[in-house]
Amino acid sequence: MTIPPYPVSEIVASRRPHRKDAARNYDALLTAAREAFAEHGSEASLEDIARRAGVGIGTLYRNFPTRRHLFESLYAEEVNILCQVADEVAEREPWEALTAWLDRFAEYMVTKRAVREALNDGSEIFIACRVSMYASGGPLFERAQRAGEARTDMEFTDLLRMVAGITAITFDDDTQRDRVLSVALDGVRAVR
């Protein structure tokens, strides 16, 4: 299956440096930002992010001139990964494909919570990300519904809100979160 041209993939490609060493630094900064925002929220220190990435603060600012630019780039990168996962799992059985995508969606929600307050729901990046996310995950849900694997009395937005609500709760650890998500998804599965 070929990856459809999601709007967010174009945003990610346009922001990523082409030189290998610059691309490595860019990726290291995004990884460090993801970790820092997960630990400290949107107020994580840019100096800490640069330190975690093993680069100087000047390198961070060359790649991300403003905090908002870093938030947007990280958010777009996360949604782009979510779209790629949809393509990777598309050939699996319908329910398995859907739950694999939802597992990655749950991980994405950690980053989204950290950067959401910095992004306006009406921003170009936010809109492109939303369109791409729905275009990647929606068909997996619809396929599971057509296969009789997922309830037909709910919409994709209902499913995303349920998972988002679960991931917004503080859990003792990832195992507990995964267990609660699994129980909730049992309620999404069609009764046979």
pTM, entire model:
0.81
The alpha helices in 41-168, defined as continuous H runs, are 46-53, 57-63, 67-89, 94-116, 124-146, 156-167
The residue that leads in pLDDT, 6 or 5, is: 6
Give the integer Cα–Cα distance in Å for 21 and 17. 9
Query: Which domains are delineated in the chain?
Result: 7-186 (1.10.357.10)
**How does pLDDT run across 110-124, given as a tens digit for each residue?**
777 767 666 666 677
The model's confidence at residue 192, banded by pLDDT at 50, 70 and 90, is: low
pLDDT in tens, 17-53: 778 888 899 999 999 998 898 888 778 899 999 999 9
Segment 119-159, tens digit of pLDDT: 666 677 778 888 889 999 999 999 999 999 999 999 999 99
What is the C-alpha separation between 62 and 82, in angstroms, rounded?
A: 26
